[in-house]
Amino acid sequence: MMHLILADSELELIPKKLIKHPAVRNSKSKILDASLHHAAMKGLKQWQRRGRPDIVHVFLLIANESILNKEGMLRTYVHTRNDEVIYIKPETRIIKNYNRFKGLMEQLFEHGKVPPENEALMEMKKESLEELLDKLEGKRILFSMDGEKRKLENIMEEDVICIIGGFPSGDFLSPVHKMVDEVVSIYHEMLPAWIVGMEAIVAYENKFVK
């Protein structure tokens, strides 16, 4: 099984102090989104990296539609900057429309699960990255530009936990380096989270599917 974690993702509700700002006041969605709320965000600490639900969306569109997931060999988790963890059932079909996806994320923050009635396809828990890792079995690989350059197929193990940063720039907020077995770099430039995810997924498929 591959456990794939998008860590320290920039997914959060609009902070209270921003709610009266003109760039936010008429926002249809309660999810902070840099592409809409940019003008209001400059008062936030670390504002340049925050408000990126789009990264979470594309990452999940790749992970949950992948061959690896359809084969039942992938579990995907989204850990946020405020230490929430979203558990995503493998059978979840990630909604393709971005605005509706943000609506679902909003429901998660409000009700802790979606759909709010019936059995949950996605569930959000208050949990740190370390607490999540303690529940999972496998070699822990962190993807980071300061890691060693390795061919992914060589380091994949049948039980593996891949940790990928869910932020557009900067470094992990969680103390990840002390939690992992190996730190690898797959390219000399910063790559978007979904590209790292796709490289990890296909490497695992090539080694273990069929």
Give the binding site for a second copy (CB under 8 A). 33, 35, 54-55, 58, 61-62, 65-67, 70, 96-100, 186-187, 189, 191-192, 194-195, 198-199, 201-203, 206
- Residue closer to a second copy by CB (options 94, 179) is 94
User: Are the CB atoms for 164 and 60 separated by under 8 Å?
Assistant: no
CA 72 to chain centre: 19
- Between residues 128 and 185, which has the closer beta carbon with respect to a second copy? 185
Q: For residues 13 and 202, which CB has a smaller minimum distance to a second copy in the complex? A: 202
* CB 166, CB 7: distance < 8 Å: yes
3-state secondary structure of 191: coil
Supply the minimum distance, in Å, between the C-beta of residue 83 and a second copy: 25
Kindly state the smallest distance separating residue 163's Cβ from a second copy, in Å.
19
What is the nearest approach in angstroms of a second copy to the Cβ of residue 72?
A: 13
Helix (H) / strand (E) element for 13: namely none
Rounded CA gap, 43 and 78, in Å? 26
Reported as type and span, the H/E element at residue 182 is strand 182-185
Distance, CA of 110 to CA of 30 (rounded, Å) = 10
Q: What is the dihedral of CA 158, 162, 150, 49, to 10 degrees?
A: 170
If the CB atoms of residues 36 and 173 are measured against a second copy, the closer one turns out to be: 36
Report in angstroms how near the CB of residue 178 gets to a second copy at its nearest: 28
Smallest separation (angstroms) from a second copy to the CB of 192: 5
In the complex with a second copy, the residue whose CB is nearer, 114 or 152, is 152
